[in-house]
Structure 1
Amino acid sequence: MGANWNNPAPYQIYWEKSTGITRKMVGGVVVETKQASPNGIEVLDTWMTTGVAHFDIRHDVGDPFCITGSVKYRETVQFWKTGAVAVNGRHNNVPNHESYASYNYDSLGNQTFTKVWNFGTPDFKCLVGWFAWCDKSYTASKNF
């Protein structure tokens, strides 16, 4: 997601669906990689004002390594023109999820991303079926 406050109102939110690589590790070594489909991503309730941009994102698609597991999260994101971002939502405990935000560009014009949150210590029993305790909620924020 991106917000463009450089143009006059109405301001522009732009977005692109994408997913990262899921890594299967054995003994700390990556033995296989796969990628979840971005087809299950929905972006909803997008709006912008002179100082804040807002969107909801939902992703629900099969886990690339497990027939019964899923990549599943719901997140509400707000980011401010001043450089703060806040996220809150729910996610399956497996696979691990993480969120990144960018407010700056480096000297070569490349966007630089900073991790807003991530969750480790997954419970892999969540891959064999849906259990209420597999659904975790979170709130995180970052100032740039």
Structure 2
Amino acid sequence: MTETESAPEEVGTPEEESEDLLYEVDIAPPVIGDSQIADLAGLPTVQTSSSSVSSLGATTTSAQSAMRLSATWTTYETYIKDKFVDAPEGYGLICEDGADWWYSGDGRGSGFNTGKYRTRAAVKFNWDDGNTYGYKDVSSTKRYRYIGGRYVYDSSKKESSANFKVYSLANSKTFSHVKIDHKVGNPFCSNTYIFYVNWQKFYKTGNRWVYGEHTKMPHHEFYIQDVWTDGQSETKHHKKVFTHAAVSPFCLATFGVTPCGKKNYQYVK
């Protein structure tokens, strides 16, 4: 897989989770196949009138309506909604020096391309050339002492991304398959990992199957962005698949089995 530093454009406001998302289920493939026509997936259809409204909700002319899907992006981000978080001792959460340290969070709510995250994976399925491009990033963790009602900066570390991998398993220009393995911890604390495995199967027709499981800390968020073109200009449309809220910092204790269990899900469209 080729890595690129480019990422989906536009910053959007939070949306509701997809109605096609299922939780705590036996993972099963979609019953529809790649022969399903585009309008069943809510994709733009070619219009013949001089002015019309596409299924993306934007007014178009007949010249603009002959749009085709050129690429699909997905983003998977983990983030901490608070600006600071106290990682409690116990359940295998052993942090350096044994002091009551506080650590940097991301200070944000749900949102598309906010630029604030603990970790981020972005995948581009290029339907034109049949290539899949992957990008991954791990943010630094800052450590603080809480003194006199203030957070006093102490130091910063960045966890390795060696156990954070994006695998391209197939891309035929009409079907693409990706797997993400993620195991990234707090560099100041032992036996703490944000763990997830995520599978993505996308068809150019608009059908898609996303499934996986993850630890229940921190927040996990997944978006899809489709890129449409008429050969001269592009239209981008993003959709949130899920935001899974964090339960407790204890859930990061992964010496053996996490005490909170894992969350599994699947999205079928």
Instruction: Name the TM tier (shorter chain).
Output: 0.5 to 0.7
Matched, 1:13 2:132: yes
What TM-score results when the alignment is normalised by the length of structure 1?
0.68
Match of 2:216 among 93, 104, 111: 93
| Compared CA separation, residues 6 and 127, structure 1 to 2 (3 A) | closer
2:200 is matched with: 77
Shift of 1:60: 0.5
Match of 2:264 among 137, 140, 144: 137
Shift of 1:92: 0.6
Indicate if the aligned counterparts of 1:54 and 1:79 stay in contact, CA closer than 8 A.
yes
Q: How does 1:1-144 map to 2 (within 5 A)?
A: 1-7=123-129, 11-19=130-138, 37-44=160-167, 46-63=169-186, 66-104=189-227, 113-120=238-245, 122-129=247-254, 130-131=257-258, 133-141=260-268
Q: Give distance in 2, aligned partners of 1:17 and 1:104.
A: 20
What TM-score results when the alignment is normalised by the length of structure 2?
0.40
Please report the RMSD computed on the Cα atoms of aligned residues, expressed in angstroms. Answer: 3.5
1:27 is matched with: none
Higher relative contact order (Cα pairs below 8 Å, separated by 6+ residues)? 2
Consecutive unaligned residues of structure 1, counting only runs of 5 or more, are: 23-30
Which runs of 4 or more aligned residues in structure 1 lie more than 6 Å from their structure 2 counterparts after TM superposition?
A: none
Aligned length: 131
Q: Identity over the aligned pairs, expressed in percent?
A: 27
User: If each structure's strand is expressed as a fraction of its own residues, which one has the higher value?
Assistant: 1
Higher radius of gyration, 1 or 2: 2
One-letter amino acid of the structure 1 residue matched with residue 183 of structure 2: D
Counterpart secondary structure, 2:250: helix
Consecutive unaligned residues of structure 2, counting only runs of 5 or more, are: 1-122, 142-150
